[in-house]
Amino acid sequence: MSEKTVILPDHEEMFRRLLGVSDDAYMQERFYPILLKKAGRQLVAPGVVMLLTLAIHDFVDGMPPGMANAMFAQAPDFIDALVTDAEVAEQAKTFLREALSAKK
Read off the pLDDT of residues 27-44 as tens digits, 9 standing for 90 and up. 999 999 999 999 999 999
What pLDDT is stored for residue 3 in this prediction?
A: 86
- How far, in Å, are 4, 85 from residue 1 at the CA level? 9, 19
What pLDDT is stored for residue 65 in this prediction?
A: 83
Low-confidence residues of the chain: pLDDT under 50? 1
- The answer for 4, left when phi > 0, alpha when psi is -120 to 50, beta otherwise, is beta
Distance (Å, rounded) from C-alpha 60 to C-alpha 11? 22
What pLDDT is stored for residue 1 in this prediction?
A: 41
**Domain span including residue 64:** 5-103
pTM for this predicted structure: 0.92
Domain tally, the chain: 1
What pLDDT is stored for residue 104 in this prediction?
A: 61
Closest by Cα among 60, 59, 90 to 76: 90
3-state helix, strand, coil in the chain (%, to 5): 70, 5, 25
What pLDDT is stored for residue 12 in this prediction?
A: 98
